Amino acid sequence: MPEDFSTPPPTSAAVPPPPPASAIPPYGYASPYAQGSPYPVYGQPPRKRRSAWFWVAIFGGSFAVIALLFTAMVWSITKSLSGDSEASIDGLGSGSKIGVIDIDGVILDADKVDTQIRKFGDDSSIKAIILHINSPGGGAAASQEIYNEVVRVRHEKNKKIVASVESVGASGAYYIASGCDSIYANNASVVGSIGVIMEWTNFGELMKWAKLKSVVIHTGTLKDAGDPTREMTPAEQAYFQALVDNMYGQFVHDVAVGRHTSDDKIRPLATGQVWTGQQSLQLGLIDKVGGFRIALMDTASSVGIKGEPTIARPASEKRGLIAALTSDSDTLFPNPSKLLDEAPGFYFMWK
């Protein structure tokens, strides 16, 4: 018997009737997933657009921040290039002050110390200067240049300059100290080493091992004296010894002038050796045994400052990104060619 397909098969669930026309929003059909859904649906009103003033504020604020950063960068570069810096003050008061300049490590560049001495010398509020020394010396010319600046400021500005040796005040550092009005050192400080040393590295054997040969074309028999690729000739040895002897004589004479004595009395002490502060006092190389605090109080009292003196120090050099980017490129990326730039050097230095 044929089946009757006129009646549809029963369903498990009744299909809900369509919503009335009044329930349908005017913006379109509602999604069956609208309730509880995190996403926007057609049945909701469109999001309100930002005001034009909002974007004006955003772009204006961004421009102001960029302009402020650019101004700060330009100011930092200008200040670092001009080298203008104010002295930092330790203590209260802004009247009479004692200027303190630190001389630390090997002395190779005199410009920085000379500038600090000159600024304190021109500052009428700085009544005296203390050179706080902790150095084995350094370049002969650099040490001599600072010595000359110390003597000039003392005489032209009529300003007292005192040296206070911390641990080491030898060779070129003692050269500078001898130009001061007085020298203080601790009992165990190392003082002296009056003498000159000249040195360089001879890498001739290394070049032979590497099968390299130096080729030099010059005029004058001593033009290439000190060539580090070969041994010195007797004439070159005598030539350099004469230069060292001349610098030695300058060293002895300047120390004698600074210590108010004669070359003949300094020369027996100018053997290159060092003494303790206690021994140096007996030899007349320093004026008083005592640390920085004693030197500070004595100096303040000698220039009429009563009580605790106010200390002025040169502003510390700030090293940041701007300073690094504006400095000499060789400090960031050393030039390999400078490894071969080893000319003979003359030093007032204790080793």
Please give the Cα distance from 253 to 246 (Å, whole number). 11
Tokens (6 digits) for 257: 């002038």
Find out whether 278 and 289 touch, Cβ atoms under 8 Å.
Answer: yes
Q: Does residue 51 have an active-site annotation?
A: no
Long-range pairs for 322-330 at CB < 8 Å and ≥24 separation?
A: 322/73, 322/76, 322/77, 322/80, 323/76, 323/80, 326/77, 326/80, 326/81
Find out whether 132 and 117 touch, Cβ atoms under 8 Å.
Answer: no
Q: How far is CA 74 from CA 63, 123, 317, in A?
A: 16, 29, 18
Grouping H, G, I as helix, E, B as strand and the rest as coil, residue 254 is helix
| Selected catalytic residue, list 135, 143, 164, 171 | 171
Grouping H, G, I as helix, E, B as strand and the rest as coil, residue 133 is strand
Tokens (6 digits) for 102: 């630190």
Look-up of token digits 């001593």? 222
| Selected catalytic residue, list 88, 208, 223, 262 | 223
Please give the Cα distance from 132 to 118 (Å, whole number). 16
Grouping H, G, I as helix, E, B as strand and the rest as coil, residue 88 is strand
Grouping H, G, I as helix, E, B as strand and the rest as coil, residue 313 is strand
Find out whether 97 and 126 touch, Cβ atoms under 8 Å.
Answer: yes
Q: Does residue 171 have an active-site annotation?
A: yes
DSSP 8-state class, residue 78: H
Q: How far is CA 213 from CA 133, 222, 343, in A?
A: 45, 20, 18
Please give the Cα distance from 349 to 120 (Å, whole number). 27
Q: How far is CA 56 from CA 50, 51, 66, 69, 237, in A?
A: 11, 9, 15, 20, 78
Active-site residue set: 171, 223
